[in-house]
């Protein structure tokens, strides 16, 4: 195994003023949908304006596809200049192995601690008191997206919460509309994960994922989550398996499906389609039941290199990502919320304003499952959710399986 080595030259590079020299920097990410590609272009254009060159290296698929590729390249001694990962524990083992660039000096110089909110977002970049990543946005899974026209054209009240969508499902099916669009395994598990807060409540969410409390897994609140998840598996079409998330979003945009439970990144697809929040589509945080948001999102990490010019370019990119200009421009296109609270969001649409209002109350902010559970536990939960969703597994059996997983979680 070949590992990059932090040399004395690298250490000197971290301490130097930012370089003005032109450097090609390969950046890996998994933003490939229409809305995501438009957001990446914002970052690339802004970075190119520094005199460096953004060398785009998109990896098709979700983070579950891209993360193993990214980690393998870094461990194999072929690191990229920068890489997107989720804010959380995805890079923890790489940091422990000494393979990621320490950004602490830059973070202190630019006072990220007082500008990035909520504080837990930057804390997720910390290991042993040092900063190793740049949060680029606040993403939350806690949203349900609805095509208003599908309901209005069929004389069905537009749902304001999950229960009302379930009630409307038979009439939607009679009208030839799929009640709920979904797809790949991570999307299916996302439905269950959103229900953990929206149906089960904040206390149960934290007890199961944060405290790893087996009694919370076997509680009535957690039972209600699995029962709602069982309702969801009756509301999807037979061809859902393996469908890309943006394809599912487009089914809602086109009126082939009525709703989708998906993170706020779906908003970028509605924007690309020229649709207007509150007119063409609605967004219901917490499924309309429990308007709280987790605070996961995307972050950029910078693998260590022994090339001081690469290091200087990495630091320029890190600084640009957290700048007010980039934060506004990128997040308006991406359909996410900025990590800074001191930026102008006059142009924000109705859904983004809902998110900002929720975040204004710290009690509404939750840590994401990526921040609470390691990758292995997340994978086991995803496997269980997928098996349940694609079978007639009973709620009792699902709860027993989840209890076994949580009891072994770190």
What are the residue ranges spanned by the domains of the chain? 24-139+296-341, 143-294+367-409
> Is-same-fold flag (24-139+296-341; 143-294+367-409)?
yes
CATH code reported for the domain at 143-294+367-409: 3.40.190.10
Count CA within 13 A, CB hemisphere, residue 52.
28
Above pLDDT 90, what percent of the chain?
A: 64
SS (H, E, C) the chain: CCCCCCCHHHHHHHHCCCCCCCCEEEEEECCCCHHHHHHHHHHHHHHHCCCCEEEEEECCCCHHHHHHHHHHHHHCCCCCCEEEEECCCCCHHHHHCCCECCCHHHHHHCCHHHHECCHHHHHCCEECCEECEEECCEECCCEEEEEHHHHHHCCCCCCCCHHHHHHHHHHHHHCCCEEEECCCHHHHHHHHHHHHHHCCCHHHHHHHHCCCCHHHHCCHHHHHHHHHHHHHHCCCCCCCCCCCHHHHHHHHHHCCEEEEECCCCHHHHHHHCCCCECCCEEEEEHHHCCCCEECECEEEECECCCCHHHHHHHHHHHHHHCCHHHHHHHHHHHCCECCECCCCCCCCCHHHHHHHHHHCCHHHEECCHHHHCCHHHHHHHHHHHHHHHCCCCCHHHHHHHHHHHHHHCC
User: For residues 257-284, b (16+ Cβ closer than 10 Å) or e, as one string?
Assistant: bbbbbbbbbbbbbbbbbebebeeebbbb
Q: Provide the pLDDT for residue 204.
A: 95
Nearby residues of 44 by Cβ (< 8 Å), 6 or more positions away: 27, 54, 56
- The yes/no answer on whether domain 24-139+296-341 falls in CATH 3.40.190.10 is yes
Predicted confidence (pLDDT) per residue in 121-167, tens digit: 898 899 999 999 999 998 888 999 999 999 999 999 999 999 999 99
Q: Provide the pLDDT for residue 281.
A: 96
Predicted confidence (pLDDT) per residue in 40-92, tens digit: 999 999 999 999 999 999 988 767 788 889 999 999 999 999 999 876 667 88
Q: Which two tokens stand for residue 329?
A: 């421009």
Q: Provide the pLDDT for residue 354.
A: 86
Predicted confidence (pLDDT) per residue in 277-296, tens digit: 889 999 999 999 988 887 77
Q: Provide the pLDDT for residue 180.
A: 98
Q: Provide the pLDDT for residue 21.
A: 62
Number of Cβ within a 10 Å radius of residue 356: 15
Q: Confirm if 250 and 269 have CB atoms less than 8 A apart.
A: yes
Q: Which two tokens stand for residue 242?
A: 């393996």
Which one, of 322, 316, 368, lies nearest residue 342 by Cα?
322
**Which is higher by pLDDT, 316 or 37?**
316
Q: Provide the pLDDT for residue 88.
A: 61
Predicted confidence (pLDDT) per residue in 219-242, tens digit: 999 999 999 999 999 999 999 999
Q: Provide the pLDDT for residue 9.
A: 31
**Which is higher by pLDDT, 120 or 147?**
147
408 exposure class (CB count in 10 Å sphere: 0-12, 13-18, 19+): exposed
Predicted confidence (pLDDT) per residue in 321-343, tens digit: 999 889 988 988 888 888 887 77
Nearby residues of 280 by Cβ (< 8 Å), 6 or more positions away: 147, 148, 149, 270
Q: Provide the pLDDT for residue 375.
A: 81
Does residue 188 have a pLDDT over 80?
A: yes
Q: Provide the pLDDT for residue 55.
A: 97
């Amino acid at each position: 195994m070949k590992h990059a080595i932090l040399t004395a030259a690298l250490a000197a590079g971290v301490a130097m003023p930012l370089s003005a020299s032109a450097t090609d920097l390969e950046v890996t990410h998994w933003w490939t949908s229409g809305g995501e590609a438009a957001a990446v272009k914002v970052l690339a254009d802004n970075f190119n304006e520094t005199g460096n060159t953004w060398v785009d290296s998109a990896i098709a698929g979700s983070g579950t596809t891209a993360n193993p590729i990214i980690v393998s390249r870094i461990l194999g001694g072929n690191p990229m200049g920068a890489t997107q990962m989720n804010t959380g524990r995805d890079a923890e083992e790489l940091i422990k192995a000494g393979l990621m660039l320490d950004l602490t000096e830059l973070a202190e110089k630019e006072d990220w601690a007082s500008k990035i909110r909520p504080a837990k977002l930057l804390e997720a970049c910390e290991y042993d008191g040092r900063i190793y990543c740049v949060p680029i946005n606040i993403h939350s899974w806690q949203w349900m997206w609805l095509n208003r026209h599908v309901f209005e054209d069929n004389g069905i009240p537009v749902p304001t919460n999950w229960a009302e969508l379930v009630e409307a499902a038979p009439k939607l099916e009679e009208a030839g509309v799929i009640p709920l669009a979904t797809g790949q395994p991570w999307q299916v598990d996302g439905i269950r994960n959103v229900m953990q807060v929206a149906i089960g409540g904040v206390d149960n969410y934290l007890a199961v994922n944060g405290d790893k409390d087996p009694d919370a897994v076997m509680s009535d609140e957690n039972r209600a989550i699995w029962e709602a998840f069982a309702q969801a598996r009756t509301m999807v079409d037979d061809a859902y398996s393996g469908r890309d998330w943006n394809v599912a979003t487009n089914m809602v945009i086109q009126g082939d499906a009525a709703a989708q439970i998906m993170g706020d990144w779906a908003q970028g697809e509605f924007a690309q389609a020229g649709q207007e929040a509150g007119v063409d589509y609605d967004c219901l945080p917490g499924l309309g039941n429990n308007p709280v948001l987790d605070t996961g999102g995307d972050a950029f990490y910078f693998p260590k290199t022994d090339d001081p010019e690469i290091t200087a370019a990495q630091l320029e990119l890190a600084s640009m990502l957290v700048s007010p200009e980039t934060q506004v421009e990128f997040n308006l296109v991406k359909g996410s919320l900025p990590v800074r609270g001191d930026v102008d969001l006059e142009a924000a649409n109705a859904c983004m304003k809902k998110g900002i209002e929720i975040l204004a109350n710290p009690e509404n902010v939750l840590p994401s499952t990526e921040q609470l559970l390691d990758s292995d536990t997340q994978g086991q939960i995803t496997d269980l959710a997928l098996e349940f969703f694609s079978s007639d597994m009973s709620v009792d059996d699902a709860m027993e399986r989840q209890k076994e997983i949580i009891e072994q979680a770190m």
